[in-house]
Chain A
Amino acid sequence: EAEVAQSPRYKITEKSQAVAFWCDPISGHATLYWYRQILGQGPELLVQFQDESVVDDSQLPKDRFSAERLKGVDSTLKIQPAELGDSAMYLCASSLRTGSPSYNEQFFGPGTRLTVL
Chain B
Amino acid sequence: AQTVTQSQPEMSVQEAETVTLSCTYDTSESNYYLFWYKQPPSRQMILVIRQEAYKQQNATENRFSVNFQKAAKSFSLKISDSQLGDTAMYFCAFSRYGNKLVFGAGTILRVKS
Question: Are both chains from one complex?
Answer: no
Which residues of A come within 8 Å of B, CB atoms? none
Which residues of B come within 8 Å of A, CB atoms? none
